[in-house]
Structure 1
Amino acid sequence: MNKTIGLFAHVDAGKTTFAEQILYNTKSIRTIGRVDHKDSFLDSNSIEKERGITVFSDQAVFQYNFSTYYLIDTPGHMDFSSEMERAIEILDYAILIISAADGIQSQTEIVWQLLRSHNIPTFFFINKMDREGANIQTVIKDIKSNLTEDICFISKPIKKKKFDRKIAEFIAERNDALVEKYIEEDYEDDIWLNSFMKMIVDNKVFPCMSGSALQNIGIDSFLENLDQLTFTRYNDEDKLSGFVYKIRHDEQRNKLAYIKILSGTLKIREEIAPSTEKISEMRIYNGMKFKNVDRAAAGQLIAVKGMPSAYIGCGIGNFKGNIRYKMIPTLRSKVLFDESLNSRDVLKYFNILEEEDPSLKVIWNEKLQEIQITIMGIIQIQVLKEFVYERFNIDVDFGPCEILYKETIMSSSYGCGHFEPLRHYAEVYLKLEPGQRNAG
């Protein structure tokens, strides 16, 4: 069974450390890296190592019991929320990590709202329980007040037999079909366990566990429950369907399209509809390393070469979805660079970056003769400056940030125009009405 899970958290909640322990405990990595030691497995970019933050959503692969897990470590800083949101589309389940020392932060609430808007089933892990003053009940109360009342705390591994009575009471309160069974003390284990799993995937309940990622406390128990309570139903027999969720370029600047396969199978040198492009190489990434494969099945995440026209959000095969992102940059800045550099070359480099991060919205302003981009915040600009130098070996800077305003009309309005070009005559009458907000 293929399962894709994503890790989310506010900065410094211990998300990357949690990922390291998961990978180490499942024998996917041999040694545990640390953010402060600059050797964590998924923060592989030099900028991430130096700054100690996650900038890019990278993946690891591990096996647990009978399932293959694709683990996505997402950025926790607000400035990289667009990168984080693009990862949400490919998830089967999410893990939201909250620091017991700090509780719910602003970014925690933003992440929670995004996960709810995309209907991603979510597990909580309350981390840093080894810290002095950490109080599990305080954090749970905080979650109930600010995020959801439907949090179900699990203190030990759930077993197929002897289903936990407290959890049975919790889900019976939210499931009319189970109330009578609970009253009659009808504890048929399979029914209760399957009902719990169904309510999780339907976003009606949200399991919560606790521990310390740094001390490896509660990680094994969390893994056991995650595996027991999650399932996917991908079908290899259906027609091919999937979508591109990420674009990257390798060291030779070959374009890599990262695809989530939703149904069917994909084979090397196969033509992908609706284009006639042929896949020349297929990779499954685990951190920076990858292995080549000739075939990929439903539920898998793969990177392919041979799709030059691919872009983030484009469908393949019979994909019928409509991917729309909610995190939109609110700032605009111009790119500053030395006059000795050819502006067309600089624009070409930024167009490559825009392929990888569409939220940059790179434009060439002909009137002002400048390159403009949209961004989320100052930290993103600092990282982008370092990244451009590392990637293309050019120094750039950015002008002052301006807030992007969107103007709209509040009520119906009429206008008219009178035209007489070259002895021709025309009058235009125009009526403008406000449309539904965000309808385009």
Structure 2
Amino acid sequence: MKRTLNLGILAHVDAGKTSLTERLLYAAGVIDEIGSVDDGSTQTDSLALERQRGITIKSAVVSFVIGDVTVNLIDTPGHPDFIAEVERVLSVLDGAVLVISAVEGVQAQTRVLMRTLRRLRIPTLLFVNKIDRRGAQDDGLLRAVAEKLTPAIVAMGSVRDPGTPEAAFRPYGPGDAAFTARLTELLADHDDAFLAAYVHDETALSYRRLRRELAAQTGQALAHPVFFGSAITGAGVDALSAGIAELLPAAQGEPGDPVSGTVFKVERGPAGEKIAYARMFGGTVRVRDRLRFHDGQGEPRDDQKVTALSVFERGADVQRPSVAAGQIGKLWGLADIQLGDTIGEPPEDAGRHHFAPPTLETVVVPASAAALGALRVALAQLAEQDPLIDLRQDDIRQEIYVSLYGEVQKEVIQATLAADFGLEVGFRETTTICVERPIGAGAAVEFNGKAPNPFLATVGLRVEPAPVGTGVRYRLAVSPGALPLAFHKAVEDTVRETLNQGLYGWRVADCTVTMTHSGYSPRQSHSHAVFDKSMSSTGADFRHLTPLVLMNALRQAGTRVHEPMHRFTLEVPADTIGGVLPELARLRAVPRTPAMRGASCLVEGDIPAARVHELQQQLPGLTRGEGVLESAFDRYQPVSGAAPARPRTDHNPLDRKEYLLHVMRRV
């Protein structure tokens, strides 16, 4: 019976995962010639910018067959600036191959990825690539993997002549006593029944049973088999292919189940039409079906009709009348579709992110002021393909802000705008994105018909701190029937929009806003006249009044600005630590006590996100190029000293006179 496996290839940048994808396609007979990352001729790096830079920027899907398993392979970016692409792929995988360079070893991004794969319990094989390169490690690298990634590993073979062009991988078999002993020990750690059988009669455990149990525990993400090889020479790739088919679990779900799927990628076709990539978890979608969608937060969207679809088969996407459970399809006709949308009922973890949001921001500046409108449209299209990349528009200063993960991403946005939209742009200096949190409670109210309120609405709001990580919660302390539903919605929507800029201009996080007072003027008119909005409340009255009341309440509560902090791990030669520690202090890092590890020194601690890039730049000079830094967002921490402010992009409800001047003029 045919099985389907949706497989992710993940790695630190330059570990060779795109080359491995090419080799797997070649071994499966999908391509006749292996492409080169350096030459820009690979199957999955299709963007011109990917070919120029030799890195993967967008995830790509390609299909091939191993025995009775159809593999939909998803090649993902390795550079940390494009971690959002990896996040979207994780939600649709049945299994993964994490690629590690035999030369560079376990790198910072390798650790971030493995930690995430283990937390999400995604079945994962490890492939140690580049065994043919000078400096390749085997046994030493296994020790590093056990120490830095997971101890639940088992080498599936041995390497002959590592570091030479003749390097080869020999898979272990039933006759390798040391392998079967290590395998038995690993499996017994996670299965009491298996342990009992081993203790009772170890000779009763046949090699076939060991392999079955290894597949079972790999499928539960308890064990992680390790293969060695070279994507360039092909050494070890056949063994890896066999391991993928044998050890990773096939997709679950049946074509007759209720329709369920996830959109993990959106691109635009030649005519500008949206094309959605969807992984189906259950049911079958056919051309001309009307589909029910939910957004990434589980909120329903309008039904949309599929006008065409294709599925991935043997290296290409092929037009088909339907896409069924387990498959990945490309769907046309869904004009309002967005990344992260779910087909059918939303899963339990809808809206949950696996990686931190971007903590950097910059202003995109068009080469000419006349191109500002076109730039808005182009950036909106880029943002719809990447929900973690946020846009802020300052209509007052005619500026557009974009949030980022790093400087490489800025270069890619610049090149994409030039190549795809014909827009030349520059950037202002990159700044850190902070948040504000309320310090205490505050309340304010303005009554309909009482000065100084110029609007036909009564709005009272109370603002209070909420637990960290809970976001903005909106509640009613008034009867829901006291206002028409449209006016309630106008207030809630405006509250959430207004809190994007607090007292210092940063987004306000983790607070509870309660409506304490409400009132309105019922629909009325002069005798024998049509509706008169000067006598009757409208939604605009509530939308215009709410920011004034909310910011007064927030001013009473007070806010504190918090900056993003990274947790870092720094490994440096022991004799360089004397120069590294003063630099950490200058960058406001808080290191813990260094730990000696042979000739190396390991330092862990916290550092402001704004200083990570500077530390990365200084590190090679401080450590003779041998320092390794791993850094990841950890939390927001109160800023010490003067609170940084961000320029406002609204009409500033903190300044009543200025705000009313703009709003009343618009009204």
TM-score, normalised via structure 2 length: 0.62
1:253 aligns with 2:276: no
Q: Distance in 2 between matches of 1:159 and 1:271?
A: 52
2:286 aligned partner, one-letter code = K
- Residue 133 (structure 1) shift: 3.0
1:101 aligns with 2:129: no
- Residue 189 and residue 142 in structure 1: after superposition, are their counterparts in 2 closer, same or farther (change >3 A)? closer
Equivalent residues of 1:244, 1:260 under 8 A apart: yes
Equivalent residues of 1:157, 1:224 under 8 A apart: no
- Residue 278 and residue 102 in structure 1: after superposition, are their counterparts in 2 closer, same or farther (change >3 A)? same
1:74 aligns with 2:89: no
- Residue 158 and residue 438 in structure 1: after superposition, are their counterparts in 2 closer, same or farther (change >3 A)? farther
Q: Distance in 2 between matches of 1:125 and 1:293?
A: 34
Counterparts of 1:40-51 in structure 2 under 5 Å? 40-51=42-53
- Residue 248 and residue 187 in structure 1: after superposition, are their counterparts in 2 closer, same or farther (change >3 A)? same
User: Which one of 408, 433, 442 corresponds to residue 379 of structure 1?
Assistant: 408
Q: Distance in 2 between matches of 1:288 and 1:358?
A: 28
1:361 aligns with 2:390: yes
- Residue 189 (structure 1) shift: 5.2
Equivalent residues of 1:79, 1:377 under 8 A apart: yes
1:300 aligns with 2:327: yes
- Residue 288 (structure 1) shift: 9.2
**Partner SS state of residue 283, structure 1:** strand
Deviating more after overlay: 223-232 vs 72-81: 223-232
1:389 alignment partner in structure 2: 418
Q: Distance in 1 between matches of 2:351 and 2:323?
A: 22
- Residue 363 and residue 439 in structure 1: after superposition, are their counterparts in 2 closer, same or farther (change >3 A)? closer
**Partner SS state of residue 86, structure 1:** helix
1:268 alignment partner in structure 2: 287
Equivalent residues of 2:63, 2:316 under 8 A apart: no
1:310 aligned partner, one-letter code = I
Q: Distance in 2 between matches of 1:388 and 1:15?
A: 27
User: Which one of 352, 360, 367 corresponds to residue 324 of structure 1?
Assistant: 352
Counterparts of 1:202-217 in structure 2 under 5 Å? 202-217=220-235
User: Which one of 403, 411, 414 corresponds to residue 432 of structure 2?
Assistant: 403
2:249 alignment partner in structure 1: 231
2:90 alignment partner in structure 1: 88
1:414 aligns with 2:448: no
Q: Distance in 1 between matches of 2:142 and 2:176?
A: 25
2:584 alignment partner in structure 1: none
**Partner SS state of residue 359, structure 1:** coil
2:262 alignment partner in structure 1: 243
2:352 aligned partner, one-letter code = R
User: Which one of 240, 250, 268 corresponds to residue 222 of structure 1?
Assistant: 240
User: Which one of 152, 164, 175 corresponds to residue 154 of structure 2?
Assistant: 152
Equivalent residues of 1:158, 1:225 under 8 A apart: no
Q: Distance in 2 between matches of 1:336 and 1:404?
A: 19
Equivalent residues of 1:59, 1:287 under 8 A apart: no
Q: Distance in 2 between matches of 1:360 and 1:237?
A: 37
Q: Distance in 2 between matches of 1:136 and 1:438?
A: 45
Equivalent residues of 2:371, 2:423 under 8 A apart: no
1:23 aligns with 2:25: yes
2:215 alignment partner in structure 1: 197
- Residue 340 (structure 1) shift: 4.7
1:436 alignment partner in structure 2: 468
- Residue 262 (structure 1) shift: 0.3
User: Which one of 308, 311, 322 corresponds to residue 338 of structure 2?
Assistant: 311
Q: Distance in 1 between matches of 2:392 and 2:208?
A: 57
User: Which one of 138, 147, 163 corresponds to residue 136 of structure 1?
Assistant: 138
Which has the higher Rg, Structure 1 or Structure 2?
2
TM-score, normalised via structure 1 length: 0.93
Deviating more after overlay: 368-377 vs 191-200: 191-200
- Residue 161 and residue 253 in structure 1: after superposition, are their counterparts in 2 closer, same or farther (change >3 A)? farther
Q: Distance in 1 between matches of 2:151 and 2:82?
A: 29
- Residue 244 and residue 378 in structure 1: after superposition, are their counterparts in 2 closer, same or farther (change >3 A)? same
- Residue 205 (structure 1) shift: 1.0
- Residue 67 and residue 18 in structure 1: after superposition, are their counterparts in 2 closer, same or farther (change >3 A)? same
1:267-326 Cα deviation digits (max 9, x unpaired): 111111244321111023579953211111111111111111111111112343414222
2:575 alignment partner in structure 1: none
1:81-115 Cα deviation digits (max 9, x unpaired): 11121111111111111111111111111111222
Q: Distance in 2 between matches of 1:414 and 1:225?
A: 58
**Partner SS state of residue 23, structure 1:** helix
User: Which one of 153, 171, 191 corresponds to residue 175 of structure 1?
Assistant: 191
Q: Distance in 2 between matches of 1:21 and 1:116?
A: 26
**Partner SS state of residue 130, structure 1:** coil
Pick 1 or 2: higher relative contact order, CA cutoff 8 A, min separation 6. Answer: 1
Q: Distance in 2 between matches of 1:423 and 1:398?
A: 45
Equivalent residues of 1:122, 1:203 under 8 A apart: yes
- Residue 160 (structure 1) shift: 10
Q: Distance in 1 between matches of 2:137 and 2:208?
A: 33
1:198 aligned partner, one-letter code = A
Q: Distance in 2 between matches of 1:342 and 1:213?
A: 45
Equivalent residues of 1:157, 1:222 under 8 A apart: no
- Residue 439 (structure 1) shift: 4.8
Equivalent residues of 2:92, 2:279 under 8 A apart: yes
**Partner SS state of residue 450, structure 2:** helix
**Partner SS state of residue 435, structure 2:** coil
Deviating more after overlay: 250-259 vs 274-283: 274-283
1:357-377 Cα deviation digits (max 9, x unpaired): 122212221232211110111
**Partner SS state of residue 374, structure 1:** strand
User: Which one of 313, 318, 330 corresponds to residue 291 of structure 1?
Assistant: 318
Q: Distance in 2 between matches of 1:141 and 1:114?
A: 20
- Residue 105 and residue 389 in structure 1: after superposition, are their counterparts in 2 closer, same or farther (change >3 A)? same
- Residue 162 and residue 278 in structure 1: after superposition, are their counterparts in 2 closer, same or farther (change >3 A)? farther
Counterparts of 1:51-66 in structure 2 under 5 Å? 51-66=53-68
Equivalent residues of 1:242, 1:259 under 8 A apart: yes
**Partner SS state of residue 190, structure 2:** coil
**Partner SS state of residue 277, structure 2:** strand
- Residue 418 (structure 1) shift: 7.6
- Residue 416 (structure 1) shift: 4.8
What count of residue pairs does the alignment treat as equivalent?
438
Deviating more after overlay: 430-439 vs 300-309: 430-439
Q: Distance in 2 between matches of 1:431 and 1:374?
A: 27
2:180 alignment partner in structure 1: 165
- Percent identity over the alignment is 27
- Residue 147 and residue 364 in structure 1: after superposition, are their counterparts in 2 closer, same or farther (change >3 A)? same
Q: Which runs of 5+ in 1 are unaligned?
A: none
Q: Distance in 2 between matches of 1:162 and 1:228?
A: 19
Q: Which runs of 5+ in 2 are unaligned?
A: 158-169, 294-301, 473-667
